[in-house]
């Protein structure tokens, strides 16, 4: 889940890489996150990505330059971040999809922008 993304969603309104949990809060779906990375599709609308690519994250993710949410179109990212003051949008020309190494505490893959705009 993107911390700070607090709007309730249902199966019809959830962004592609997310699904609602029992309380209607969006949580990332691991298989869809991987599909977004490997197919270079937007995590919100599932359409092909061009450039620039956008990421949405909190201050910690921005500082680490490693995001758990998949790449997005700029407009999709701004729509996801709207109304969530803790979220920031980062634009990049490219990214690496990094899977966790054995023994890492956080087993979620990350998206690491490599050419910030």
- The pLDDT tens digits of the residues spanning 4-27 come to 454 554 455 578 999 888 887 888
Report residue 5 as tokens: 């993304």
Whole-angstrom distance between the N-terminal and C-terminal Cα of the chain?
Answer: 25
Q: Where are the beta strands (DSSP E) in the chain?
A: 18-20, 26-28, 53-57, 88-92, 95-98, 110-113
Residue 45 exposure: Cα atoms within 13 Å on the Cβ side: 13
Please enumerate in sequence order all residues whose Cβ is within 8 A of that of 106, keeping only pairs 6 or more positions apart, or say none. 100
Q: At 67, phi and psi to the nearest 5?
A: -115, 140
Please enumerate in sequence order all residues whose Cβ is within 8 A of that of 37, keeping only pairs 6 or more positions apart, or say none. 70, 71, 97, 109, 111
Q: At 39, phi and psi to the nearest 5?
A: -95, -5
Say how far apart CA 77 and CA 71 lie, in whole Å: 8
Tell me what pLDDT residue 3 has. Answer: 45
pTM (predicted TM-score): 0.86
Tell me what pLDDT residue 44 has. Answer: 93
- The pLDDT tens digits of the residues spanning 38-56 come to 999 999 999 999 999 999 9
């Amino acid at each position: 889940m993107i911390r700070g993304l607090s709007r309730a969603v249902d199966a019809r309104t959830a962004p592609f890489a997310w699904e609602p949990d029992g309380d209607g809060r969006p949580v990332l779906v691991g298989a869809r996150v991987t599909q977004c990375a490997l197919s270079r599709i937007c995590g919100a609308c599932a359409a092909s990505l061009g450039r620039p690519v956008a990421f949405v994250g909190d201050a910690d993710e921005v500082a680490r330059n490693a995001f758990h949410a998949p790449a997005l179109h700029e407009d999709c990212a701004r729509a996801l971040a709207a109304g969530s003051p803790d979220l920031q949008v980062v634009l990049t020309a490219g990214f690496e999809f990094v899977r966790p190494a054995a023994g890492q505490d956080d087993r979620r893959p990350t998206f690491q922008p490599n050419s910030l705009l």
